[in-house]
Amino acid sequence: MHPRPPRTRRSCAWLLDFAAVVGVATLLGWLTFNRISAQLTDVTSLAGTTAWEVITSDGDLVGAGQDAGESVWRSAVNAVWQAFAALVAFTFLYHFASLALMGRTLGQALTNLRVQRRHEGAGRPGRGRWAARAAVLTMVDVGWYALACCLLVGGAFGLSVLCWVVAVAVFALNVLLALVGSRRSLADRLTGTTVANAWQVGAALGRLGGALRRRGAADGEVPAEPLSPA
pLDDT digits (tens, 9 = 90+) for 101-128: 999 999 999 999 999 888 766 567 889 9
CA angle, residues 19, 16, 192, in degrees to nearest 5: 115
State how far the Cα of 85 lies from the Cα of 70, in Å rounded to an integer. Answer: 22
User: Taking the model in full, what pTM does it have?
Assistant: 0.78
Percent of the chain with pLDDT over 90: 50
Question: pLDDT band at 42, cuts 50/70/90?
Answer: low
Packing angle, helices 144-153 and 157-179, rounded to 10? 170
State how beta strands 113-117 and 193-197 pair. antiparallel
3-state secondary structure of 4: coil
Contact (CB, 8 A) for 116 and 192:
no
List of E strands, the chain: 113-117, 193-197
Q: What is the pLDDT of residue 45?
A: 54
Indicate the helix (H) or strand (E) that contains 192.
none
What number of residues does the chain have? 230
Given a cut of 50, is residue 149 above it in pLDDT? yes
pLDDT bucket at 55, cuts 50 / 70 / 90: low
The radius of gyration of the chain from alpha carbons, rounded to an integer in Å, stands at: 28
Beta bridge partners of 115: 195
Give which of 34, 10, 39 is closest to 107, Cα–Cα: 10
- Which range, of 62-66, 106-110, 170-174, 205-209, averages the lowest pLDDT? 62-66
8 A C-beta contact, residue 170 and residue 144 = yes
Contacts of 127 (CB under 8 A, 6+ apart): 100
Q: Which amino acid is at 17?
A: D
pLDDT value for 36: 81
- Please give the residue that has the higher pLDDT: either 35 or 119: 35
**Confidence at residue 182, expressed as pLDDT on a 0 to 100 scale:** 83
Contact between 10 and 179 under an 8 Å Cβ cutoff? The reply is: yes
Query: In Å, how far from its chain's centre is CA 205?
Result: 33
